[in-house]
Chain A
Amino acid sequence: MIMEKENWIETVMESTNGITKVTPSKTLFSKITFKINQEKKVSPQTIWLVAASILVLVLLNIAAIKTQRFSKQETSSVYLSGTLNQSNQLYQ
Chain B
Amino acid sequence: MQNNAFDLNFLYQTYNLLVYNVALNYVQNVEDAEEITQDVFVKVNYSLKNFNQKSSLKTWIYRITVNQSLDFIKKKNSQKRFFIFGKRNENEYDYLNASAFEHPGIELEKKEEAELLFTTINTLPENQKTAFILSKIDGLSNPVVAEIMEISISAVESLVFRAKSSLKDKLAHKYLEYRKNKK
Contacts and interface: CB of A to CB of B under 8 A. Distances in A.
Contacts of A11: 113
B172 A35 contact: no
A22 B104 CA distance: 7
A29 to B, nearest CB: 5
B183 to A, nearest CB: 14
Contacts, number: 82
Contacts of A29: 9, 12, 16
Interface of A, secondary structure class, is helix
Contact of B114 (A5, A16, A33): A16
A19 B171 contact: no
Given A18-B107, A32-B41, A5 B16 contact: no
Interface of B: 8-9, 12, 16-17, 20-21, 24, 30, 33-34, 37-38, 41-42, 45, 103-107, 110, 113-114, 116-117, 120, 136-137, 164, 167-168, 171-172, 175, 178
A16 B136 contact: yes
Contacts of A5: 172, 175
B17 A15 contact: no
A49 interface: no
Q: Give the size category of A's interface with B.
A: 20 to 34
